Amino acid sequence: MAGQLALVAKLMINMHSLNTERAEEIRRVPLVYKINDGYKVVEEAVAVSGVMLKHYHFTTMVEYLRRDGGKLCPFCKRGIAIRMPSKRIPKSDLARILGVSENNKELERYYQHVQQGSEGDIISSCAGEDIHGFLRPDPPLRRESLVKFSWLLPSILSELEDPTMFTVVQHTRVIPNIPENLSEDAKQLQMPYPRGYGNGVFGFVSLANLELVGVPITGSGERVIDGNEKSKRQRAIIRSYAPLIGSVMGASMAKALPAYKTLEVMLVIVKNSPVSIPVPVHPMYDNYVNDTLKIFSSYRDLTKANVRVYTYGVRPSETYGLDIERVSRPLDVLMQAEEFLLG
Ligand SMILES: [Zn+2]
């Protein structure tokens, strides 16, 4: 038995290398907030894309599946999430990227799937393509990701005078004794370099559809993996949220592990939903807790789905007729999801 889940997390994060999605590039976006007498536009809010959050979910998921012996293609096994190579790319190039011989059996099988496999062939042999989706350009075939993320966005900007909480710090690499007449290239081994850091209260939302694990969307609806493989994949989906609730996201973490505090977590678990569940309200908005509960309460009435809600650090003013349980530790929401959906 499985179902779907919707996660909301709100985190206080200071001096986190949030913005370096690409080297030296600062990621800031315009956002609109509601204030008492209208709306406020913040031109340059610090933000991290859903692609980055999804990447961190992916890398943790691969770690779980490698440990548990789950099926992974040669790229996902190495944590390389790329677009599926087109037919025009020779196998020898893929072999060079992977550092294996052209006759490598795993590569042979992968290359065959890339050339002509069905969605079922591809997802049966790799949990990465199954759970995080894929796009094959030629012949065209795609699978939508079963795990989706919003952007990580600031949630208290409407109340701040200067909402761009961003700092650039100069770091240095130092050679203690520089010999005379060193070449210019050698001198550059020591240099100052800037890094951007973000501060603030941030939030994100995510959806995961455990029902469709191992089920080709373009096929007959039959699952193409066995029960054991399905359980490994579903468990990995749920557990891979743990680092994100603990603020593991963004680049350059070796220079700046985040100074974070998990403020609020809300997990909505839905069983027997006939279609994809709604997206929870993003914690960048005031009253997101009650607004999310209202959405899922009416969704339950509409579809007769079985809905449960687990919260950490959140006190809704009303239940809207939903089963809501408060937990005392942030990651307990994930334990509850495992028990309710996979137990
Ligand atoms: Zn893969």
pLDDT digits (tens, 9 = 90+) for 46-85: 888 898 899 999 999 999 999 999 999 999 999 988 888 8
| Residues of the chain above pLDDT 90, percent | 59
Question: What is the per-residue pLDDT for 149?
Answer: 97
Which position has the higher pLDDT, 192 or 10? Answer: 10
How far apart are the CA of 229 and the centre of ligand 1, in A? 15
Q: How far is the CA of 337 from the centre of ligand 1 (A)?
A: 25
Distance 302 CA to ligand 1 centre (A): 37
What tokens does 146 get?
């079963």
CA atoms within 13 Å, Cβ hemisphere of 208: 29
Give the length of the chain: 343
pLDDT of 24: 43
pLDDT of 136 > 50? The answer is: yes
312 band by pLDDT with thresholds 50, 70 and 90? very high
Task: Give distance in angstroms: CA of 157 to centre of ligand 1.
Answer: 39
The Å distance, Cα 307 to ligand 1 centre, comes to: 32
pLDDT for position 217: 92
How far apart are the CA of 73 and the centre of ligand 1, in A?
A: 4
Q: Residue 162: pLDDT band by 50, 70, 90 thresholds?
A: low
Report the range of poorest mean pLDDT among 11-15, 162-166, 289-293, 321-325. 162-166
Q: Residue 203's pLDDT is what?
A: 94
Which pLDDT band holds residue 23 (cuts at 50, 70, 90)? very low
Predicted TM-score of the model (pTM): 0.92
Q: From ligand 1's centre to the CA of 319, what distance in Å? A: 41
Q: pLDDT for 234-290, tens place per residue?
A: 999 999 999 999 877 766 777 788 899 999 999 999 999 988 999 999 999 989 999
The neighbouring-strand residues paired with 89 are none
Residue 179 or 50, more confident? 50
Cα–Cα distance for residue pair 146/213, rounded to 1 Å: 8
What is the distance in A from the centroid of ligand 1 to the CA of 216? 15
77 C-alpha to ligand 1 centroid (Å): 7
Give 141's strand partners. 136
Residue 147 pLDDT grade (very low, low, confident, very high; cuts 50, 70, 90): very high
**What is the number of alpha carbons within 13 Å of residue 143 lying toward its C-beta?**
29
Q: How confident is the model at residue 191 (pLDDT cuts 50, 70, 90)?
A: confident
Residues paired with 194 in a beta bridge = 170
Question: Cα of 32 to ligand 1 centre, how many Å?
Answer: 37
322 alpha carbon to ligand 1 midpoint, in Å? 38
Average pLDDT, the chain: 90
CA of 112 to the centre of ligand 1 (A): 13
DSSP state of 306: E
Comparing C-alpha atoms, which of 25, 283, 288, 258 is closest to residue 157?
283
Determine the distance separating the centroid of ligand 1 and the alpha carbon of 134, expressed in angstroms.
9
Residue 270 CA to ligand 1 center (angstroms) comes to 27
Q: How much is the average pLDDT of 148-174?
A: 82
